[in-house]
Copies of this chain bind each other. A is one copy, B any other.
């Protein structure tokens, strides 16, 4: 398998890139600037590409992002503290974000003659992001098969592209375990939605990240501004 990996620079997609590099090969890493306030994550995707010696492509979708209103990731809305399982986290949904990123990824994959597009969607995302659910992923793959059918008969590209989502039915704890298995430099990944100097330790993705290492029985090398908050939230969510 030669895969284009959609890579945000976060723990999940960087671990996926290492997994793909081990199992097969990379055609490139693909990142998107959609105006997210934590776009510093893209620098971490660039580091990953350098470490894995593969091209890094950054697509500027900030113009599109500015039109996708209503998300705390792109608009002037506070990022909520707490656990992903909470209703309040729905304000972090960017409408149709994954579908947009994935169609561009499939377009680029045809030109790169990749066999697969790899996405790090995982089971823990399903609560709040409709475009991370298995139903969506399956329907997307079907749509792409029709969209590219017959193309490589005449053009200098590949139309037979798999959507590779090995974490779709797994949770972030398994991704944390894989990060150890594939020797991922975890401190060189960025999750926090607030995009400040340090991981805040309070937003949904910080809490989830810290919890995942805890549940995996692994040390989390990340430096959090608030090191205690996650425990109070996680115990609340699990009550």
Interface residues, chain A, with chain B CB atoms under 8 Å away? 57, 59-60, 63-64, 67-71, 87, 90-91, 93, 95-100, 102-104, 106-108, 110-111, 130-131, 133, 135-136, 139-140, 142-151, 153-157, 159
Contact = CB atoms under 8 A, between A and B. Distances in A.
Contacts of A111: 67-70, 95
Each complex incorporates copies of this chain amounting to: 2
Given A69-B111, A95-B110, A133-B146, A64 B104 contact: yes
Given A64-B108, A95-B111, A95-B157, 9 more contacts: A59-B63, A67-B108, A67-B111, A90-B155, A93-B155, A96-B106, A96-B148, A130-B148, A136-B147
B100 A155 contact: no
7 contacts: A68-B111, A91-B154, A93-B155, A95-B157, A100-B104, A130-B148, A130-B149
Given A139-B142, A139-B143, A154 B90 contact: yes
A107 B95 contact: yes
B157 A107 contact: no
Contacts of A95: 107, 110-111, 148, 151, 155, 157, 159
Contacts of A144: 96, 99
Nearest to A154: B90
A60 B149 CA distance: 26
Contacts of A90: 153-155
